[in-house]
Amino acid sequence: MAPPLLFLSDIFLTLGTAPLLRGAEIAVSPGDRLCLVGRNGSGKSTLLKVAAGMIAPDSGTRFVQPGATVRYLPQEPDLAGFETTLDYAMAGIGPGDDPHRARTLLAALGLDGSEDPARLSGGEARRAALARVLAPSPDILLLDEPTNHLDLPAIAWLEAELASLRSAMVLISHDRRLLESLSRGIVWLDRGTTRRLDRGFGHFDAWRDETLEQEARDRHKLDRKLVMEEDWLRYGVTARRKRNVRRLGDLHELRARTKQLRGPAGGPKLAASAGDISGRMVIVAEGVDKSFDARPIVRGLTTRVLRGDRVGVIGPNGAGKTTLLNLLTGALAPDAGTVKLGAALQMVTLDQRRDSLDPAATLADTLTGANGRRGGDQVIVNGQARHVIGFMKDFLFPPEQARTPVGVLSGGERGRLALAVALAKPGNLLVLDEPTNDLDLETLELLQELLADYPGTVLLVSHDRDFIDRVCTNVLVAEGDGRWQDYAGGWSDMLAQRGAPPWLPMGQSAGQPVGHQPAGTGPREPAKPRPAPDTPSRRLSFKDKHALEQLPGEMARLQAAIDRLHARLADPDLYRRDPPAFGKATAALTRAMADLAAAEERWLELEMRREALEAG
């Protein structure tokens, strides 16, 4: 294989009193697209900073190929000291780089370069930071949560832009759709060590579960052996003390191995306090209008939300998603029209900025305060009293954090705490504004399961396409000029019904500049169904039916070939032993992956056409 551009070996690092990294490793070769996954607090961002050379490990090796360029995108970019966003983006340009690319990227991301960094929103600062790291076209990109604070059009643009780059990448993200689209390998950071799988993120869940099941079997074997050894220790060590000192040492080593093999701390056990059952009609909106400074935010909205619905509100930043949420929940009065709330509603709200959290309060006081009992040691969940320490553990907070001020928690910890506070309150209408911000993938999965089982109604705003697909029964989509359209299903269903992304002019690809449509084009009306041809075909042609039958086998054959080539290229001595064979295998892998992508696209197109014909 080609020598790595970046190599971390046996990295150990302790922050405070707790060891964070215990022999972690990463190798980044040309063309690699690795996703770095793990729980919040497992050290992903720290390991990425070690890779970027920003943090020196306690021990271990960091190697970067001479001449290789590395660019790092932090979670919270610092634009202090720059007069404009263009100055900040240009500071990332190196000798030999195209100075015009920074300006082009800023424009594509909806900035003109003259913005004052001190006045930027979180999303605008993230766009400026992306322009800075992408402008040099580096050999290695280290990206820490690149989609944070971005809206859906910007995420779609970023996905297309990253896919077009030749740079090697290491990517941390909670956006499953982005990881599935871009990754070709997985580095799993768990309990301070790393494991690697040279397959895309779509294979992570099965790999993780298989690994943890094997660990559980190994723990069981060790536990049985430990019982036998401790029995010997009680009754046999006295008479044979000198002869068996080594065996006693082995026992202590076995105990240490058993401790290391203990699985990760129990997963978050999310459970929402259910309130009384609401009426069947939860929200009825009729002809609702709302404007600010003569700009229409909502115009002519008529919709109904029934008990048990999970309604997603999606659109670009500035479209008025939070305003719409406030209108539907009665927090904001409409300029015209009516909003009627159903009977017996008990509303629980999770705000986007976590403003309800007092930074000076301790974690324990914040949780007990959810039930109006601040200062006690009990939390009431579903009518049952829980000790605050036990409830903290459900959300992955260790007991020693009980007296930790909220203000010193990380972004992911604040997100988990805000969820814990919201879910401890009894309610039958959950209102969630960006609930996925800063949550790790495991917590996201459990939140999805909770919302699927929640007996009440859910209104949520999110830019996470996969989360919307997995949770929502219908979505309200910003169509421009204050108009909102209701679509059944989630994000993917909306795209299938509408025919194009809603914030891009018809025919514009996701990789083109985001932001507003060209001046003078005027607002777009909601997409109309395409007219049927004069003589529509009522069935698939023989050629299409044959392709639909053959393509699954062809895709399986190509996937098997790709797996074989991956296995061959995994041989570390192949390049040194037989460079021509390595080159042929690499070329064959590229062709096979392209053929597989084409076959999948063709199969999907035919399958959707078949389903449409069967539906009449």
Count of CB atoms situated within 10 Å of the CB of 463: 26
For the chain, list residues with pLDDT below 50: 237-243, 258-259, 261-263, 265, 504-537
Find the Cα–Cα–Cα–Cα dihedral 167, 168, 172, 177, rounded to 10°: 70
At 528 the pLDDT is 39
Residue 600 φ then ψ, to 5°: -65, -40
Decide: 301 and 285 in contact? Cβ < 8 Å: yes
Long-range pairs for 39-42 at CB < 8 Å and ≥24 separation? 39/190, 39/264, 39/396, 39/440, 39/442, 40/396, 40/410, 40/412, 40/413, 40/416, 40/438, 40/439, 40/440, 40/443, 41/396, 41/410, 41/412, 41/413, 42/189, 42/190, 42/191, 42/192
Q: Note whether 448 and 592 are same-domain residues.
A: no
Task: Tell whether 452 and 561 lie within a shared domain.
Answer: no
Residue 590 confidence (pLDDT): 78
The answer on 65 and 81 residing in a single domain is: yes
CA 478 to CA 314: how far, in whole Å? Answer: 7
Is there a domain that residue 525 lies in? no
Per the structure, the count of domains in the chain is: 5
Among the listed residues 416, 418, 412, 361, the one whose alpha carbon sits nearest the alpha carbon of residue 76: 412
Predicted confidence at residue 252, as pLDDT, reads: 54
Give 435's strand partners: none
Domain around 459: 272-346+428-504
- Residue 484: the pLDDT is 93
The pLDDT of residue 13 = 93
Same domain, 605 and 550: yes
Q: How far apart are CA 363 and CA 225, in angstroms?
A: 40
Q: What is the DSSP letter of 539?
A: S
What pLDDT does 120 receive?
A: 87
- Domain-located, residue 77: yes
Both 436 and 320 in a single domain? yes
Which of 410, 425, 440 corresponds to the end of one domain? 425
> Helix, strand or coil for residue 245?
helix
SS3 of 291, please? strand
Asked if the structure places residue 529 within a domain, the reply is no
Give the Cα separation of 287 and 84 in Å (integer).
43
Global model pTM greater than 0.75: no
Short-list 167, 110, 58, CA closest to 513: 110
Rounded-to-integer distance, Cα 317 and Cα 122, Å = 11
pLDDT digits (tens, 9 = 90+) for 499-542: 655 564 333 444 444 444 333 333 334 433 333 333 344 567 77
Q: 578-593 burial, b for 16+ CB within 10 Å, e for fewer?
A: eeeebeebbebbeebb
Question: Based on the domain organization, do 178 and 309 belong to the same domain?
Answer: no
Do 120 and 148 lie in a common domain? Answer: yes
Angle between helices 245-261 and 204-236 (to 10 degrees): 150
Decide if 22 is inside a domain: yes
Q: Counting Cβ atoms within 10 Å, is residue 549 exposed (0-12), middle (13-18) or buried (19+)?
A: exposed
pLDDT tens digits for 334-387?
999 999 998 888 888 876 566 678 888 888 888 887 655 555 788 877 667 888
Distance CA 188, CA 196 (A): 6
d(CA 391, CA 387): 6
Cβ neighbours of 425 (radius 10 Å): 19
Distance of alpha carbon 198 from alpha carbon 304, whole angstroms:
47
Residues 193 and 212 in one domain: no
Inter-residue contact 428 to 456 (CB < 8 Å): yes
Alpha helices per DSSP H over 454-524: 465-471, 491-498
The answer to whether position 332 is within a domain reads: yes
State whether 341 and 360 are in the same domain: no
Which of 191, 146, 199, 179 has its CA nearest to residue 47?
Answer: 191
Domain assignment present for residue 440? The answer is yes
Element (H, E) at 281: strand 281-292
**Cα 42 from Cα 121, distance rounded (Å):** 28
CA–CA separation, 83 and 452 (whole Å): 47
Cα(first)–Cα(last) distance of the chain, in Å?
A: 53
Residue at 108 is within a domain: yes
User: What tokens appear for 414 in the block?
Assistant: 């604040």
159, 190: one domain: yes
Instruction: Write the DSSP string, 113-166.
Output: S---GGG--HHHHHHHHHHHHHTT--SEEEEESTTTT--HHHHHHHHHHHHH--
Residue 145 lies in a domain: yes
Q: Quick one: pLDDT at residue 70?
A: 94
Q: Are 65 and 188 members of one domain?
A: yes
> Which pLDDT belongs to residue 526?
41
CATH number for the domain that contains residue 608: 1.10.287.380
Instruction: Note whether 210 and 176 are same-domain residues.
Output: no
Looking up residue 65, the CATH number of its domain turns out to be 3.40.50.300
Residue percentage of the chain with pLDDT more than 90: 33
